[in-house]
Amino acid sequence: MQIKDMEYFIKLTEVRNFTQVAQAFKVSQPTITYAVKRLETELNASLSFEIRSIIVFRSPPLARSSWFMPTK
Protein backbone atom coordinates (compact mmCIF):
# COMPACT_ATOMS: atom_id res chain seq x y z
CA MET A 1 0.00 0.00 0.00
CA GLN A 2 1.40 3.36 -0.97
CA ILE A 3 1.17 6.29 1.44
CA LYS A 4 0.42 8.66 -1.45
CA ASP A 5 -2.65 6.57 -2.39
CA MET A 6 -3.96 7.02 1.14
CA GLU A 7 -3.25 10.76 1.04
CA TYR A 8 -5.19 11.05 -2.22
CA PHE A 9 -8.09 9.06 -0.78
CA ILE A 10 -8.24 11.10 2.43
CA LYS A 11 -8.31 14.32 0.41
CA LEU A 12 -10.98 12.79 -1.83
CA THR A 13 -13.21 12.11 1.19
CA GLU A 14 -12.85 15.77 2.13
CA VAL A 15 -13.55 17.44 -1.22
CA ARG A 16 -15.49 14.61 -2.98
CA ASN A 17 -14.13 15.62 -6.37
CA PHE A 18 -11.43 13.73 -8.29
CA THR A 19 -10.44 16.77 -10.36
CA GLN A 20 -9.98 19.00 -7.30
CA VAL A 21 -7.82 16.35 -5.61
CA ALA A 22 -5.70 16.05 -8.75
CA GLN A 23 -5.24 19.82 -8.86
CA ALA A 24 -4.36 19.97 -5.16
CA PHE A 25 -1.61 17.35 -5.60
CA LYS A 26 -0.58 18.62 -9.06
CA VAL A 27 -1.19 15.26 -10.72
CA SER A 28 -3.57 14.10 -13.44
CA GLN A 29 -7.11 13.00 -12.63
CA PRO A 30 -6.42 9.41 -13.81
CA THR A 31 -3.63 9.25 -11.19
CA ILE A 32 -6.26 9.73 -8.49
CA THR A 33 -8.61 7.21 -10.08
CA TYR A 34 -5.85 4.58 -10.29
CA ALA A 35 -4.82 5.26 -6.68
CA VAL A 36 -8.37 4.57 -5.47
CA LYS A 37 -8.54 1.42 -7.60
CA ARG A 38 -5.22 0.22 -6.13
CA LEU A 39 -6.56 0.75 -2.61
CA GLU A 40 -9.76 -1.10 -3.48
CA THR A 41 -7.74 -4.01 -4.85
CA GLU A 42 -5.44 -4.17 -1.85
CA LEU A 43 -8.32 -3.93 0.62
CA ASN A 44 -10.55 -6.19 -1.49
CA ALA A 45 -13.39 -3.71 -1.04
CA SER A 46 -15.28 -1.07 -2.95
CA LEU A 47 -14.45 2.29 -1.37
CA SER A 48 -16.65 4.59 -3.39
CA PHE A 49 -19.33 4.88 -6.01
CA GLU A 50 -20.94 7.77 -7.83
CA ILE A 51 -24.60 8.78 -7.80
CA ARG A 52 -25.39 11.73 -10.07
CA SER A 53 -21.92 13.22 -9.62
CA ILE A 54 -21.96 12.80 -5.82
CA ILE A 55 -19.24 10.53 -4.52
CA VAL A 56 -20.31 8.31 -1.64
CA PHE A 57 -17.63 6.55 0.41
CA ARG A 58 -18.00 3.15 1.98
CA SER A 59 -16.61 2.22 5.34
CA PRO A 60 -13.85 -0.43 5.60
CA PRO A 61 -14.67 -4.07 4.76
CA LEU A 62 -15.02 -5.02 8.44
CA ALA A 63 -18.07 -2.80 8.69
CA ARG A 64 -19.33 -3.60 5.21
CA SER A 65 -22.95 -2.88 6.09
CA SER A 66 -22.12 0.65 7.26
CA TRP A 67 -22.22 3.56 4.84
CA PHE A 68 -21.15 7.09 5.47
CA MET A 69 -20.96 10.39 3.66
CA PRO A 70 -17.99 12.40 4.90
CA THR A 71 -18.70 15.88 6.13
CA LYS A 72 -16.83 18.86 4.79
Query: How do residues 10-68 score in pLDDT, each as one tens digit?
Result: 898 888 889 999 999 999 999 999 999 998 899 888 777 665 555 666 655 544 444 44
Q: How many domains does the chain have?
A: 1
Taking the model in full, what pTM does it have? 0.68
CB neighbours of residue 1 within 10 Å:
9
CB proximity list for 14: less than 8 A, separation 6 or greater? 70, 72
Give, for 55, the enclosing helix (H) or strand (E): strand 54-58
Could you list the residue range(s) of the whole structural domain that residue 7 is in? Answer: 3-68
Backbone angles phi, psi at 57, to 5 degrees: -105, 135
Query: CATH code at 54?
Result: 1.10.10.10
